[in-house]
Amino acid sequence: MTEERMDFPYAELIKSLPFIAFVRTKNTQGQYSYDFPFHQDKEHLDISPFDQMTTDESGCLDIVEWSDKEKFIQSIRDSEQNMTMSKENFCVLLPSGERRWLTGSALPEKQENGDIVWKGLWLDITEEKRKNYFNSLVLESVHEGIAAFDSQGNILFFSPSLTSILSYTAEEINKKTIFSLLPSDISETLQQYMLLSALKDKISIEVSIERNESRPVFLEIDMFQKDFFFICLFRDVTRYREKEEQFRYLAYHDVNTGVKNYTYLDDVFSKSINQAKISQTQIAVLSVTPDSMGQVDAVSDPVIRAHIMASIANRISSCLSGQDYLAQTGYCHFTVLVTGLEFALGVEKKVESILHSFDKPIYVNELEFDLTVSIGICFSPQDGEILPDLIAKSDMALNQIRCDEKSSMRVYNSDLAISTAISMNMRRDLKKAIENNEISAFFQPQVDIKTGHIVGLEALARWHTSDGILIPPSEFIPEAEECGMIDALTEIILDQACKWNQKWHSMGLCRVPVSVNISGRQFHNESQLLCLIDKALEESDLPPYLLELELTESSAMLDPDNARKVIQTLLDNNIRCALDDFGTGYSSLSVLSSFPLKKLKIDRSFVLSLNEKKNVEIVRATIVMAHALNLPVLAEGVENRRNFEVLKNLGCDIIQGYLFSRPLSAEQMELMLMRWDADIAAMGESL
């Protein structure tokens, strides 16, 4: 054991610290020796045999672990050569077999006798080294990525797994801040939390990150503050999400066809019904099935059958939008939810497009399947709030479609839904009626009150359904106007009115104008209206002055300026206009006088109740006013002799009503025209 050397710098202090103070000497013969000048506290050090330690010829302690020897010697050599401080980090292998790690430095000094003496300190860092080792072992083996950063976002530490989780190299991470590592929205959230010092409690978020055009990675990120540092823990949950996705796929899809199934629809419905209640919207539930299963059933290969189902689903979904949901709810049975409907009728166009999407056949494995589908519809909440009940109701509507009907739709008929059902069913039927020529013009004569001669004919639309039912225009004209079919309907009546009138004209039966009712909406599209009229006149060869148009007072008053303009244009083309249903609108005298009209028709409601004195006065005033404007007056709805007399006395010019004739089919009208003069002559005395 050596004497204590008090010339060693800070000797007193060193004695009490967990250092090993040493003096290394290289004498002029090149031999090294070590001296340990202090009896240092063994409690700290745990290395006792230093004072007996030997060295080899290059000055390296024999107990230095062989792998560190070279490094150890090199640091002494460098220090000696440059007379600079040697930095010594090494592991020693003690006779007990234990390894300990020392780190330290020593300053060389040349002695007068030529010796070189290093005075230095080694610190036993074994505990630290072990801790670090095990820490890094733990860090390497955990899957979570850890990043610690300061308030500026500078990354102070990160675990090795962070590189693989974020697909960045360690160098790349070193150059980044935590904010640039995270997706921008998450980064903003994090910065806000940091500013508000709100990370005392852990905050967890899940993000999906797409890097290098690879599959998205789902990360769960915990953020929190620990002492002066901020920590982000990154957990890669992609595997779980993918598994969940697989389970969800299996739970939500038909295993054979791959089309979404009932469970999926039920889930969507529960969410949608709540939403519908909040937003006061409706959900349409559509049951869609092929009109005939024959073609599908005839296929024995189940794979092809599954492909057909998938193709049907594809056709349907090609007509759907983001708020619509489709599922296969049975063999050859599909259900669609159309959500967010403000009006039940809003679903109509979608239904039409689904039906039309089957206009072309489906091809599977080069086999052609000419399938059409039909659709039953009901609405939630009005028809119920339970999905199976709603599907049953749309199925009931579907079952109402007759076997011989194809590509049809029906709406479930509950008391609540009746008006919607009627409207929608009516529209669809009306469309077919137009295609199938079920609409025709009937004619009613307009008679001069003084002479009894027919001075005009009114063409009135009639719908004879294939079931032999006659539907009055009051039921289908408003629907036709609503759904844009009024032009097609007017075209039919105009064509037939012009054709028949030209025929009767050329037969010499009558030379009077035929009047056709025009919807107010059509007056707003002047060019289209003129087009329809031109076509009808041209095809029938009827002179334009033998055509008259009737516009109701109420629709004329909706936009009087436009009405005046159109009436004038028609007159410029030799086509006269009459104001229909007078008394039901609110026309002012000044507006009325500015219309270039040729006739004024008093609404039949006044005529039918001419027994009331008030109405007599209204009719009288109307006639006086019309005459003042040089307008002949026609009274509609004259059913009896009494009213006829009243009107005659009031100075009415023309009458139209059951008293002379109900509206008749063209053929019946033709017969009536042939007999008219004779009949009127017979009636003459009584007129």
Residue number with CB closer to ligand C2E (308 or 546)? 546
Tell me the sheet residues that pair with 654. 448, 634
Q: Among residues 47, 60, 326, 460, which is the contact residue for ligand C2E, using CB under 6 A?
A: 460
Minimum CB distance to Mg ion, residue 581 (Å): 4
Tell me whether residue 440 is exposed, middle or buried, using C-beta atoms within 10 angstroms of its C-beta: 0 to 12, 13 to 18, 19 or more.
middle
Minimum CB distance to ligand C2E, residue 480 (Å): 8
Kindly state whether residue 290 participates in binding ligand C2E, applying the rule CB under 6 A.
no
- Prior bond to 381 cis, omega within 30? yes
Q: How far apart are CA 451 and CA 18, in angstroms?
A: 138
DSSP secondary-structure letter at 253? Answer: B
Whether the Cβ atoms of residue 438 and residue 426 lie closer than 8 Å to each other: no
Residue number with CB closer to ligand C2E (339 or 656)? 656
519 binds, options ligand C2E, Mg ion, none, Cβ within 5 to 8 A by partner type: ligand C2E
Kindly state whether residue 145 participates in binding ligand C2E, applying the rule CB under 6 A.
no
Pick from 422, 413, 465, 416: nearest CA to 440: 465
Q: Among residues 474, 527, 630, 686, which is the contact residue for ligand C2E, using CB under 6 A?
A: 474
Minimum CB distance to ligand C2E, residue 603 (Å): 7
Kindly state whether residue 477 participates in binding ligand C2E, applying the rule CB under 6 A.
yes
Instruction: Please report how many Cα atoms fall inside a 13 Å half-sphere around the Cα of residue 384, on the Cβ side.
Output: 15
Kindly state whether residue 493 participates in binding ligand C2E, applying the rule CB under 6 A.
yes
Residue number with CB closer to Mg ion (285 or 635)? 635
Q: Among residues 86, 408, 496, 517, which is the contact residue for ligand C2E, using CB under 6 A?
A: 517
Pairing of strands 367-369, 362-364: antiparallel
348 binds, options ligand C2E, Mg ion, none, Cβ within 5 to 8 A by partner type: none
Minimum CB distance to ligand C2E, residue 577 (Å): 13
Minimum CB distance to ligand C2E, residue 365 (Å): 51
Residue number with CB closer to ligand C2E (58 or 668)? 668
Six-digit token string for 479 = 């629907």
Q: Among residues 502, 519, 587, 615, which is the contact residue for ligand C2E, using CB under 6 A?
A: 519
Kindly state whether residue 513 participates in binding ligand C2E, applying the rule CB under 6 A.
no
Six-digit token string for 597 = 């009209």
Chain contacts with Mg ion (rule: CB under 5 A): 517, 550, 580-581, 636
Kindly state whether residue 663 participates in binding ligand C2E, applying the rule CB under 6 A.
yes
Pick from 31, 35, 36: nearest CA to 15: 36
Q: Based on DSSP, count helices (H) and strands (E) in the chain, helices before strands.
A: 26, 27
Kindly state whether residue 583 participates in binding ligand C2E, applying the rule CB under 6 A.
no
Six-digit token string for 33 = 């020796």
Q: Among residues 217, 269, 657, 673, which is the contact residue for ligand C2E, using CB under 6 A?
A: 657
Pairing of strands 32-35, 19-26: antiparallel
Q: How far apart are CA 451 and CA 471, in angstroms?
A: 34
Residue number with CB closer to ligand C2E (124 or 636)? 636
State whether residue 387 is helix, strand or coil. Answer: helix
495 binds, options Mg ion, ligand C2E, none, Cβ within 5 to 8 A by partner type: none
Ranges of beta strands (E only) in 553-674 are: 576-582, 599-602, 633-636, 654-656, 664-665
Minimum CB distance to ligand C2E, residue 485 (Å): 11
Kindly state whether residue 604 participates in binding ligand C2E, applying the rule CB under 6 A.
yes
Kindly state whether residue 487 participates in binding ligand C2E, applying the rule CB under 6 A.
no
Q: How far apart are CA 550 and CA 568, in angstroms?
A: 14
Kindly state whether residue 658 participates in binding ligand C2E, applying the rule CB under 6 A.
yes
User: Which residue is associated with the tokens 């983001």?
Assistant: 322
473 binds, options Mg ion, ligand C2E, none, Cβ within 5 to 8 A by partner type: ligand C2E
DSSP secondary-structure letter at 36? Answer: -
Kindly state whether residue 429 participates in binding ligand C2E, applying the rule CB under 6 A.
no
Q: Among residues 75, 444, 446, 555, which is the contact residue for ligand C2E, using CB under 6 A?
A: 444
Residue range at the interface with ligand C2E (CB under 6 A); choices 102-110, 296-304, 399-407, 637-645: 637-645
- The single-letter code of the amino acid at 175 is K
User: What is the spatial order of strands in the sheet that 99-110 belongs to?
Assistant: 32-35, 19-26, 116-124, 99-110, 86-93
Residue range at the interface with ligand C2E (CB under 6 A); choices 246-254, 498-506, 612-620, 635-643: 635-643
Kindly state whether residue 461 participates in binding ligand C2E, applying the rule CB under 6 A.
yes
- Interface with ligand C2E: number of residues (CB under 6 A): 24
Residue number with CB closer to ligand C2E (45 or 483)? 483
Q: How far apart are CA 341 and CA 621, in angstroms?
A: 49
Minimum CB distance to Mg ion, residue 501 (Å): 16
Distances (CA, A) of 441 to 458, 483, 504: 9, 21, 15
Distances (CA, A) of 32 to 38, 58, 121: 19, 7, 17
Minimum CB distance to ligand C2E, residue 462 (Å): 7
- The single-letter code of the amino acid at 600 is L
Minimum CB distance to ligand C2E, residue 554 (Å): 10
Opening angle at CA 250, ends 244 and 254, nearest 5:
155
Site residues, ligand C2E (CB under 6 A): 444, 460-461, 472-474, 477, 490, 493, 517-519, 550, 580-581, 604, 636-639, 656-658, 663
